[in-house]
């Protein structure tokens, strides 16, 4: 498995992220936050620099996460994002030959999420792009199960799931392995992070490398293999960007992944 990472989990300066990541074997990067802001609403020169560095270093950009629909609470917010954020994000996705965009599942109180997703997916389909929904604890779509139900409800071929068991574990304070079977047909991207059990009254997890927390990553990875998943897998440690921390996360992933039996066994 050619492991990647969300670049700003190392550093918002892409050159620094790549300088630290390459010696650790990381040659695939998701773009999210840069020095001048969240892509693509940051300065254009910084996106151009990302492109230049990626080409010069021979690394791949595997995803773009512009933050679409993360805090969108109503129709006005949805229209604004579709007018101001989506076109720029779609332009860079096409320029970088990405399959689509990572998006989120609207604010919790948004009762029109399915309607808005259907509209956004129709536009993405017309642009030959996918919208890959990342479950997020603060969003209406907070679990992989909810994302799969949303996709089934809309019937859109342009919607997929960014499978992130760490986010769901944060919401539910448990390993959400049972969600995978329903999500599997739609998984197009994977994020890897782990957490210790939430203490009573705590709201922020203590994040740890995969396999050191409550998520049964051997089982999740085995399920991905059984589903013949071949898309990107990216670290999203939520820890710090120090080289020794990123190395711990890379080694934890590799140890777990390499211990799995071959799919045909």
CATH code for the domain of 98: 3.20.20.150
Question: Is 265 a member of any domain?
Answer: no
Number of domains in the chain: 1
Report CA-CA distances (Å) from 176 to 113, 134, 142, 173: 23, 14, 12, 9
Q: Give the residue numbers spanning the domain of 195.
A: 4-258
Of the candidates 228, 224, 204, the residue with the CA atom closest to the CA atom of residue 216? 224
In a domain, 157, yes or no: yes
Q: Is residue 263 assigned to a domain?
A: no
- Is residue 178 packed enough to be buried (19+ CB in 10 Å), middle (13-18) or exposed (0-12)? exposed
Is 170 inside a domain boundary? yes
Torsion angle in degrees (nearest 10) through CA of 107, 109, 111, 116: -10
Strands 33-34 and 100-103: unpaired
Render each residue's pLDDT in the chain as its tens digit; 265 residues. 789 999 999 999 999 999 999 999 999 999 999 999 999 999 999 999 999 999 999 999 999 999 999 999 999 999 999 999 999 999 999 999 999 999 999 999 888 999 999 999 999 999 999 999 999 999 999 999 999 999 999 999 999 999 999 999 999 999 999 999 999 999 999 999 999 999 988 889 999 999 999 999 999 999 999 999 999 999 999 999 999 999 999 999 999 999 988 766 5
Indicate the SS3 state at residue 195: strand
Q: Is position 264 within any domain?
A: no
Say if 149 falls within a structural domain: yes
Global confidence as pTM: 0.96
Question: Strand pairing of 60-64 and 28-31?
Answer: parallel
């Amino acid at each position: 498995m050619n492991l990647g990472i969300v670049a700003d989990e190392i550093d918002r300066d892409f050159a620094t992220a790549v300088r630290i990541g390459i010696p650790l074997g990381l040659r695939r990067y998701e773009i999210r936050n840069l020095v001048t802001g969240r892509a693509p609403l940051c300065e254009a020169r910084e996106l151009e620099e990302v492109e230049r560095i990626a080409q010069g270093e021979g690394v791949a950009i595997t995803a773009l996460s512009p933050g679409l629909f993360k805090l969108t609470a109503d129709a006005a917010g949805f229209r604004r994002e579709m007018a101001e954020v989506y076109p720029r994000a779609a332009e860079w996705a096409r320029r970088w030959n990405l399959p689509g965009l990572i998006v989120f599942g609207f604010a919790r109180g948004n009762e029109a999420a399915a309607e808005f997703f259907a509209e956004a997916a129709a536009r993405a389909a017309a642009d030959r792009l996918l919208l890959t929904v990342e479950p997020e604890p603060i969003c209406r779509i907070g679990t992989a199960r909810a994302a799969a139900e949303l996709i089934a409800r809309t019937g859109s071929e342009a919607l997929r799931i960014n499978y992130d068991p760490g986010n769901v574990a944060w919401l539910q304070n448990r390993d959400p392995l049972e969600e995978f079977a329903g999500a599997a047909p739609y998984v197009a991207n994977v994020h890897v992070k782990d957490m210790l059990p939430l203490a009573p009254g705590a709201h922020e997890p203590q994040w740890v490398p995969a396999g050191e927390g409550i998520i049964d990553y051997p089982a999740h990875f085995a399920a991905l293999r059984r589903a013949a998943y071949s898309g990107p897998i990216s670290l999203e440690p939520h820890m710090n960007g120090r080289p020794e921390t990123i190395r711990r996360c890379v080694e934890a992933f590799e140890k777990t992944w390499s211990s799995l039996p071959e799919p045909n066994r």
